[in-house]
Amino acid sequence: AKDEEEPPQGLLGDIVLCPEVAKRQGEEAPTQHSMDEELQLLTVHGVLHLLGYDHEEPDEKAEMFGLQAAIVDGWRGEHGLTGASPAPTVS
């Protein structure tokens, strides 16, 4: 769940992505998907963490992954990309 405290203004943190890891995770995911799709998913996932969301508890996981899927699906729809967001590979 999102932390109740408001995030500070300015820089919230860093998101570091590794294309090689994203490629492998996409290939190994139950709903195999491309490296680009995995990078989209990981970027949204990282931003949600920076905004205070977490997935340690089942209710937090449902909230965060639901929001993650909605954001990725919305972005893909706005840019004319087909298919739903891949299933989360981050547990």
Number of folded domains that form the chain: 1
CB 33 within 8 A of CB 84: no
Can you tell me the distance from the alpha carbon of 57 to that of 2, in angstroms, rounded to the nearest whole number?
12
Which domain range does residue 57 map to? 51-81
Phi, psi of 41, deg, nearest 5: -60, -45
List Cβ neighbours of 37 (8 Å cut-off, separation of 6 or more). Answer: 26, 85, 86
- Say if 62 falls within a structural domain: yes
The answer to whether residue 11 sits within a structural domain is no
pLDDT band with cut points at 50, 70 and 90 for residue 9:
confident
Query: pLDDT value at position 76?
Result: 81
Q: Does a structural domain hold residue 68?
A: yes
Question: Other C-beta atoms within 10 Å of 16: how many?
Answer: 6
Residue 45 inside a domain? The answer is no
7: in domain? no
Tens of pLDDT, residues 12-43: 999 999 999 999 999 999 989 999 999 999 99
Q: Cα separation of 68 and 90, whole Å?
A: 11
